[in-house]
Structure 1
Amino acid sequence: MAVQHETELYPPLKKFFEERGYSIKSEVRHCDLVGIRPGSDQPLIVEMKKTFNLPLLLQGLERQKLSAEVYLAVERNRTKRGAHNQRWSEITLLCRRLGLGLITVTHYKTKAPFVEILCSPGDKVIVPSAKIIKTRASRLITEFNERSGDYNVGGSHGTKLVTAYRERALRVALALLEGGELAPREVRERSGVGSAAAILQRNYYGWFRRIARGRYALTPEGREGLALYSGVTDGWARVASAAEAEEPSPAEPPDRPSAN
């Protein structure tokens, strides 16, 4: 059952820590919950939010200037599947790295809320650095190197990206546009794309059509694709023209000496 206000987290947290010997008071010097155990001068501090977010995390770091026993408390809503604040293992790892405790409070319709400590402040747990997955890192570098330029805008969402695969498909489409009906071998030679046959057969974008055994042509969708990404293909043409202009012209043969 989702809570409406973060104040609904306070009663179960107060009860939880009072049962463990703390004297609890709320809103002490801007701290949501403060607890003191008899004979201890180290205060317990708990900051609460309905969901885990950056302001809560920053509050926790600020409270570490007052005490080493700082917890962040959030609701654990079982219905919010896939939400970022439900990735408890990752959130717990983050809190461990920062020396913060993490508590979740689960509310129910017919029974008392359940309070669970996922990690405690200063847990003596060695948290290893993230392990680099070499295959994924290799794919990242390969994708970077196989792109001919930077045709996307960082931070884009829901837009069609110019990937290395799309670039290869565009080169294949250009070859068919210029050469008409071609065999995969001819497309490979014209486009310079070694995987041309696989791209034609897979036809991921619907740009190609098999018109006979071993013969392919460009579809209307393929022409639309070339028009849509004309900025990319025009850039290739400019680069090719510049490269040709820089090539030295062949030297003229020396004049043959005249016979005396």
Structure 2
Amino acid sequence: MPGRWCKRFRQLARIAAFSESRCRNGRNRRLLRLQIARVDSTPCKGLGSSGKIPLPVRHGNSSDTTVRQSAIGKPAPLGEAALYLPVKRFFEKSGFDVKGEVNGCDLVAYRGDEPPVIVELKLRFTLALVLQGIDRLAISERVYLAVPRPPRRARGLSPEAPGVRRLCRRLGLGLLLVGRRSGTIAILEEPVPYRPRRSADRSARLLDEFTRRTGDGNIGGRNRTPIITAYREDALRCARALADGPMPLKALRAATGVADAAAILQRDVYGWFRRLGRGTYELTEAGQAALGQFAETVALLAASSEAAEAAAA
């Protein structure tokens, strides 16, 4: 078909090559626009009265790229309806009678005298899907959330993430994962009542940290700022005592009342202390700066110490 190519397409090809190699400044870009306008105003012969190439139209359920009305488009994206048939077959194999869109529920499966199974279909795991599942729990205790397996580089929440699965367990929602190509169903979570197992160790650490802190030196929700922990408070007590000069560990422990003073000075997590000799430490420049940085906490610790001494006397 080379003989039927018209002059217009040869001109467009030359303009495209010119644009790739030369259009680096405003003058060349203006010249390119003038040439394109000149070509567009020239009628093309041999293509019919409209001057357009009649593109073929493909019909049928082909998954290839489709061409309709002289426009090239991508295959239709995966919709929620595409999840219905795989999930329906999955429950039918277990002896359920399955129907779709029953009183607002995407899929309802029923078997014998068992409670109905409700499945909500969504393309992604979102908060809206979770809220929808919670609403369906008022109808049946067996509610599943079904989502397709996300691509490897997909953004957002992954249904396979431990936190997502833990959330579904906590709410009593089941979670189904639908294969994008194979249509296989993987049950990630079953809709059963969930009772979290208490961690006695974590609870004890929480209460210990709470009771050891003096006052409230932190603002909840703030980040990128040092947190005043009980450990940091003890380190500040030691730094305040060493501000007057070097001190042996035994005297430092007695002056501050910090039982773990030896471990704090030896580990030196913040770089505030320097070892001069066996059992003797001094304050570094970083420690001096920390006393100024946490001046409010240091003043609070001093007032608390004086109040404790007065109460003991």
Q: TM-score under structure 2 normalisation?
A: 0.60
| CA apart distance, 1:168 | 0.5
* More relative contact order, 1 or 2 (CA 8 Å, 6+ apart): 1
What is the match of residue 50 of structure 2? none
| CA apart distance, 1:149 | 1.4
Deviates more, 1:232-241 or 1:215-224: 232-241
Work out which of the two has the higher radius of gyration on C-alpha atoms and give 1 or 2: 2
What is the match of residue 15 of structure 1? 86
Deviates more, 1:159-168 or 1:57-66: 57-66
| CA apart distance, 1:120 | 4.8
Letter in structure 1 aligned against 2:218: N
Seen in structure 2, the aligned counterparts of structure 1 residues 43 and 192 have a Cα distance that, compared at 3 Å, is closer
Seen in structure 2, the aligned counterparts of structure 1 residues 82 and 186 have a Cα distance that, compared at 3 Å, is farther
Seen in structure 2, the aligned counterparts of structure 1 residues 105 and 140 have a Cα distance that, compared at 3 Å, is same
Q: Map 1:132-151; keep pairs closer than 5 Å.
A: 132-151=198-217
Could you tell me whether the CA contact under 8 Å between 2:150 and 2:158 is conserved in 1? no
What is the match of residue 221 of structure 1? 286
What is the match of residue 175 of structure 1? 241
| CA apart distance, 1:164 | 0.8
What is the match of residue 165 of structure 1? 231
What percentage of residue pairs aligned between the two structures are identical? Answer: 36
Say if 2:311 is the partner of 1:237. Answer: no
| CA apart distance, 1:193 | 1.2
Could you tell me whether the CA contact under 8 Å between 2:179 and 2:185 is conserved in 1? yes
Letter in structure 2 aligned against 1:17: K
Could you tell me whether the CA contact under 8 Å between 2:253 and 2:259 is conserved in 1? yes
Count residues in correspondence.
Answer: 231
What is the match of residue 30 of structure 2? none
Identify unmatched segments of 5+ residues in structure 1. Answer: 249-260
Q: Map 1:49-88; keep pairs closer than 5 Å.
A: 49-67=122-140, 69-77=142-150, 79=152, 85=159, 86-87=161-162
Seen in structure 2, the aligned counterparts of structure 1 residues 65 and 51 have a Cα distance that, compared at 3 Å, is same
Identify unmatched segments of 5+ residues in structure 2. Answer: 1-75
Which whole-Å CA distance do the structure 2 matches of 1:89 and 1:165 have between them? Answer: 35
Which whole-Å CA distance do the structure 1 matches of 2:168 and 2:141 have between them? Answer: 17
Seen in structure 2, the aligned counterparts of structure 1 residues 6 and 188 have a Cα distance that, compared at 3 Å, is farther
Which whole-Å CA distance do the structure 1 matches of 2:78 and 2:265 have between them? Answer: 60
What is the match of residue 251 of structure 1? none
Q: Map 1:96-175; keep pairs closer than 5 Å.
A: 98=172, 100-107=173-180, 111-121=181-191, 123=192, 127=194, 129-175=195-241
Task: Give the match's secondary structure for 1:194.
Answer: coil
Which whole-Å CA distance do the structure 2 matches of 1:63 and 1:247 have between them? Answer: 61
Say if 2:170 is the partner of 1:94. Answer: yes
| CA apart distance, 1:161 | 1.1
Seen in structure 2, the aligned counterparts of structure 1 residues 196 and 132 have a Cα distance that, compared at 3 Å, is same
Letter in structure 1 aligned against 2:182: A
Q: CA RMSD in A?
A: 3.8
